[in-house]
Chains A and B, each alone.
Chain A
Amino acid sequence: MKNVLKNISRTLAAILLLGIVNSVSAEPLKIGYSDWPGWVAWEVGIEKGWFKEAGVDVKFEWFDYVASMDAFAAGKLDAVSMTNGDTLVTGATGGKGVMMLMNDYSNGNDMVIAKPGITSVKQLKGKKVGVEIGFVGHLLLLNALEKAGLKETDVELVNVPTNETPQVLASGDVDAVVAWQPNSGMALDLVPGSTAIYTSADEPGLIYDTLVASPQSLATRKEDWKKVVGVWYRIVDYIKNPKTYDDAIEIMSSRVGLKAGEYKGFVKGTKILTREEAKTFFKKADGFKSLYGSTKISDDFNVANKVYDKPEDISSYIDASLTTGI
């Protein structure tokens, strides 16, 4: 009898141990992504089965952008796709992450759109601007105003959720709005004669779109993440190659439920970066030409707007080693 009990308890212990070992090694990397062309591009690698070929077990989970950040902050994901500015906000409020891969920077998809009659940022003086205060659109607006020699106090800000900006501009209650695709395109369509007076193409590098991993996942499974980065640059090559471009767009457009032709316009405003390009932006420097500089500017902006209280330690948010291969 004793023996039987002993055997049972041994077996149980073995099963438990196996379970623990398994959960460490065999668990797929869970990556959250959402509707932005630079992130939809992952779909190419998923569809082609390249992750399996590279020998890395990943599970991509499709979210709404804000929901994906919530899930990451709650520790339910190993990595998530975020802009550099939002990485800071998520980190400062408890969901620390490390930017280890740069997908793209916004190159025109984010816009300041003014109603007919206003054709330059200078003319915004004394006007009302609808923008989601404290988020990336606000940052773009401040950048636009600064370049035109205006201050934030020269315009009146109206807090508007980004997905409602088209209707708000159409209502005539504001003179301009700040939005990104697809909302920016909708606003231009909805208000005939309206124009984009400033876009992220005027300040490339203001908004970097990155893959952000949790520090513990990055530390314990670095080899797996290296493989993920490898697959990413295979995807980039596939998109950049004119011969396979159409197939890549076809796969990406199917992810968001659009026809390939319709989707090309959205991809255009996104500058997807090759490894060489990413390497230069991963170098430490001031200003928008470096992820460090751009993130520092976001940090200043966040503190100034009381999104959080103290400046964050920028370099703890960035790990270039997987991209540079050092």
Chain B
Amino acid sequence: MFSQLFSVHARLDPKQRVFVSILSFIIPIIVWCIVSYTPFVWHPKVEITSPAEVSYFKQGMLIDREIFDKEVEGAIQNNQVIPQGNPANPVYLPAPHEVATALYTAFTTEPRRRSEKWLHESLWDSIQVIFWGFFLSSLIAVPLGILAGTYDVFSKLFEPFIEFFRYLPAPAFGALAVAILGIHEAPKIAIIFIGTFFQQVLVVSNTTRKLDPSLLEAAMTLGAKRLSLLFRVVVPGIVTHLYKDMRILLGWAWTYLIVAELIGTSSGITWFITQQARYKNFDNVYAAIIIIGVIGLTTDIILSMLGKRIFPWEKSMAKA
């Protein structure tokens, strides 16, 4: 049983797979709990409960343990009242239950101003920015990539410039995007586009190039013309791999969200994260990061299930 778990290149049985997958989430959470709830693990700070006679101590203040110990020693030597405190973690590591509470309250807190949005509305704004950036990028990058992967002339025409351009960091175009596209959604979508597009062309052309050449040869022997070669052999031949590429690239687009939303007016989930971080509410920051992770993972799982539906033959290919 145990040795079976570690056999090279063999698939686990379905039950084991689910169990191990869940474990991959449980382990980090357990580590987080241990660091947060066991006072003798880490806890480099002391939260003051009684400042006694130390002038700069305040109730609820977080102090380095060394300094606290020094002050306690000093108080003992001078026969003063001894300051009291509990071991604590730095403010940037809130405990799991604090983050869970923050997650809940973030969604249930009613906007306090008329012009303010609910958290789910802000999230929806962010998702739309991602969607349009990714959609527009795919609209152009996928055909270009397929052409470049199929015909050497297009490969040499597009790829050298794209190779150059993809090294330019997307955020560097922020001020430019605002100058051209205004201050609202458009420049944000542009940054997602710039961040995704160039990689996308290269990834798609690479995938196209990996198509089994014997398929093309067979089709040409059977008299396939240029266009039908492209649309009836190349595209169907790579479509399952293309689908997988798109899933990975969508995740890539998400990573540009935060820089994109810092441009122009403050909006979306990024507004929530940066504003909360500015005032040290790190429990809210973690909550927002978790939300992004959950949205990303959920979309990916849905897309993967959809993929199985759309390309039923892919499964049999994997087994073979």
B23 CB, nearest partner CB in chain A, Å? 35
Does B279 contact A257, Cβ atoms closer than 8 Å? yes
Q: Is A258's CB within 8 Å of the partner chain B?
A: yes
Q: At the interface with chain B, which of A19-27, A126-134, A185-193?
A: A185-193
A86 CB, nearest partner CB in chain B, Å? 16
Partner of B116, one of A35, A71, A189, A254: A254
Does B57 contact A192, Cβ atoms closer than 8 Å? yes
- Pick the most buried of B64, B67, B175, B279: most chain A CB atoms within 10 A of its CB: B279
Partner of A186, one of B272, B274, B280: B280
Does A74 contact B175, Cβ atoms closer than 8 Å? yes
Cα separation A89 to B175 with both chains bound (whole Å): 16
Does B278 contact A192, Cβ atoms closer than 8 Å? no
Q: At the interface with chain B, which of A62-70, A151-159, A217-225, A286-294?
A: A62-70
Q: Is B72's CB within 8 Å of the partner chain A?
A: no
What residues on B are CB-neighbors of A254 within 8 Å?
A: 112-113, 116
Q: Is A43's CB within 8 Å of the partner chain B?
A: yes
Does B63 contact A76, Cβ atoms closer than 8 Å? no
What residues on B are CB-neighbors of A163 within 8 Å?
A: 278
**Given A74-B178, A77-B183, A192-B67, A46 and B279 contact (CB-CB distance below 8 Å):** no
What residues on A are CB-neighbors of B272 within 8 Å?
A: 257
Q: Is the interface of B mostly helix, strand, loop or mixed?
A: loop
A20 CB, nearest partner CB in chain B, Å? 19
Mask: chain B, 261-301; 1 = CB below 8 Å from A; 0 = not = 01111100001101110111100000000000000000000
Partner of B278, one of A61, A67, A182, A189: A182
What residues on A are CB-neighbors of B112 within 8 Å?
A: 250-251, 254
Question: By the criterion of a CB under 8 Å from any partner CB, how many residues of chain B are at the interface?
Answer: 32
**Given A76-B178, A192-B56, A63 and B264 contact (CB-CB distance below 8 Å):** yes
Cα separation A265 to B223 with both chains bound (whole Å): 80
Does B266 contact A62, Cβ atoms closer than 8 Å? yes
Does B266 contact A76, Cβ atoms closer than 8 Å? no
**Given A62-B266, A63-B266, A74-B175, A192 and B113 contact (CB-CB distance below 8 Å):** no
Q: Is B74's CB within 8 Å of the partner chain A?
A: no
Measured as residues with beta carbon below 8 angstroms from the partner, the interface class of chain A is 20 to 34
Cα separation A27 to B63 with both chains bound (whole Å): 53
Does A251 contact B262, Cβ atoms closer than 8 Å? no
Q: Is B81's CB within 8 Å of the partner chain A?
A: no
Does A256 contact B275, Cβ atoms closer than 8 Å? yes
What residues on B are CB-neighbors of A47 within 8 Å?
A: 113-115
Cα separation A257 to B64 with both chains bound (whole Å): 28
A217 CB, nearest partner CB in chain B, Å? 15
Q: Is B169's CB within 8 Å of the partner chain A?
A: no
Does B178 contact A46, Cβ atoms closer than 8 Å? no
Partner of A71, one of B57, B178, B275: B178
Partner of B183, one of A76, A255, A257: A76
Does B266 contact A64, Cβ atoms closer than 8 Å? yes
What residues on B are CB-neighbors of A70 within 8 Å?
A: 174-175, 178
Within A232-273, which residues are at the interface with B (CB < 8 Å)?
250-251, 254-258, 262
What residues on B are CB-neighbors of A251 within 8 Å?
A: 112-113
Q: Is B33's CB within 8 Å of the partner chain A?
A: no
Mask: chain A, 31-75; 1 = CB below 8 Å from B; 0 = not = 010010000000100110000000000000111100100110011
What residues on A are CB-neighbors of B279 within 8 Å?
A: 182, 256-258, 262
Cα separation A256 to B281 with both chains bound (whole Å): 12
Cα separation A76 to B177 with both chains bound (whole Å): 11
Does B61 contact A192, Cβ atoms closer than 8 Å? yes
B132 CB, nearest partner CB in chain A, Å? 20
Cα separation A251 to B114 with both chains bound (whole Å): 10
- Pick the most buried of A46, A70, A254: most chain B CB atoms within 10 A of its CB: A70
Does A71 contact B61, Cβ atoms closer than 8 Å? no
Q: Which 3 A-B pairs have the closest CB atoms?
A: A254-B112, A74-B179, A61-B265
Apart from A46-B115, A182-B279, A262-B279, 12 more pairs, CB < 8 Å: A47-B115, A62-B265, A62-B266, A63-B265, A64-B262, A67-B263, A71-B178, A192-B64, A193-B56, A193-B67, A251-B113, A254-B113
20 contacts between A and B (CB under 8 A): A35-B278, A47-B115, A61-B183, A63-B183, A63-B264, A63-B266, A64-B274, A67-B263, A67-B266, A70-B174, A70-B178, A74-B179, A76-B182, A186-B280, A193-B56, A254-B112, A254-B116, A255-B113, A257-B279, A262-B279
